[in-house]
A and B are shown apart, each in its own frame.
Chain A
Amino acid sequence: MGGDEIVLLNGWFSPFGARVRIALAEKGVTEYELKEEDLFNKSPLLLERNPVHKKVPVLIHNGKTICESLTIVQYIDEVWKGKSPLLPSDPYQRSVARFWADFVDKKVYDTMKRITRTKGEDQERAKKELLEIFKLLEGELGDKPYFRGDEFGLVDIALVPFYSRFYAVETFGKFSIEAESPKLVAWAQRCMEKESVSNSLPDSKKVYEFVLDVNKKLGIE
């Protein structure tokens, strides 16, 4: 689509922003302005375009603002509908994809945050919960290459950005996600073979440093 003006307000560390970058890449949309945000010093543009949540990512497409990563991903899928559909065409399969994307949204980030921000019993509980969440996801994945089957789609996009947080979570929690959820890690590595994914995810060690830094800024030991 010629003449599109696209701006993405993002944070390199944000798994939610990564979802949008992956979706754009899947659609072959490479011409856009990527504006890096500092969450401790949010730009006037971010506060103006997302006054309700003041969060990244924010997509500005020909002047129109879209917020909330999964809403943005679905928007991208619907606008650039000619190429690489991110959702299946069957309504029931679509509802299944939306269900699991929603499940990832409700559970993964908060549980990971508890592992990196708490200690002792709270942390142990969070670790146990994360592994249970991963077990459920592995169950849904089964033997399929991607959540939808042969094609990469919404649920993969919703979940795979958290792969770059695995190292941080493992280091804080002193456990191995691969040992407990090998199928999920294998799936993540399969996704990483796609350029759209590997170009959109930050380096795991950098994410770990970032999480340490955020904890320091928030006064968490």
Chain B
Amino acid sequence: MAPSDVKVLGAAPSPYVNRVQIALNLKHVDYEFLEETFGSKSELLLKLNPVHKKIPVMIHEGKPICESLIIVQYIDEVWTDGPDILASDPYDRAMARFWAAYVDEKWWPTLRGIRNAEGDEAKVAALEQVMEGIMLLEDAFVKCGKGKDFFGGDTIGYLDIALGSFLGWLRASEKMADIKLLDETKTPGLFGWAERFGSNAAVKDVIPKTEKLVELVKTMAARAKAQ
């Protein structure tokens, strides 16, 4: 694949950044990764994303594209050679968009809630919320995947990327709170899906290792205490 003028401004531990990397890998697009220092915002970032000042930002042919899922759709529409990330059927596309928005707006905050919960009661309540969401997503996997390997069917799709990008943090949460969120018996669909997604060539070098994320959380907590 000829090198293209693609740059990704981001940080390796960010699931939102990982989404863009996975999408580019799926399309076999080479890119330059510009690493943002965690905890500070470069002038380049502020210039390219003045509205939200957030990573990821993808730069293609000199133009910035912001918001991870919008970038993924852009990638899908520009590089049409590779497998489709969004299905062609409008209803399937709507389902993928609906659940991706659910993951971002409702489910991910509950996962973060486990870490922030103080005290046993709060932790149990936080865990319950996460599991409620996981059961909904298990159901969605059955409906969207229709018995195939991924939410997108035979190949990784939009919703796989949207949810799968959080797998690193999901595993880190499991380790830190000593719990199991994805379970072979309770969530068989998602359990199998997570293995397949995580080991896929486009994904395996992108999602950070669990140990690294756990270390990062410890570092961030120490930094916060020191302030």
Contact = CB atoms under 8 A, between A and B. Distances in A.
Interface of A: 52, 61, 64, 66-68, 71-72, 74-75, 78-79, 91-92, 94-95, 98-99, 102-103, 136
B97 A74 contact: yes
Interface string B65-107: 1110011011001100000000000110110011001100010
B70 A91 contact: no
Contacts, number: 53
B220 interface: no
Given A92-B74, A136-B51, 4 more contacts: A52-B102, A75-B90, A78-B93, A91-B78
16 contacts: A66-B94, A67-B98, A68-B97, A71-B97, A71-B98, A74-B94, A74-B97, A78-B90, A91-B74, A91-B77, A92-B65, A92-B74, A95-B74, A98-B67, A99-B65, A102-B67
A58 to B, nearest CB: 11
Nearest to A140: B51
B225 interface: no
B78 A64 contact: no
B70 A75 contact: no
B43 to A, nearest CB: 20
A68 B97 CA distance: 9
B176 interface: no
A95 B93 contact: no
A63 to B, nearest CB: 10
A209 B63 CA distance: 45
A95 B90 contact: no
Nearest to A71: B97
A64 B95 CA distance: 10
B125 interface: no
A92 B63 contact: yes
A92 B93 CA distance: 19
A85 to B, nearest CB: 14
A78 B86 CA distance: 13
B227 to A, nearest CB: 25
A79 to B, nearest CB: 5
Contact of A71 (B63, B73, B101): B101
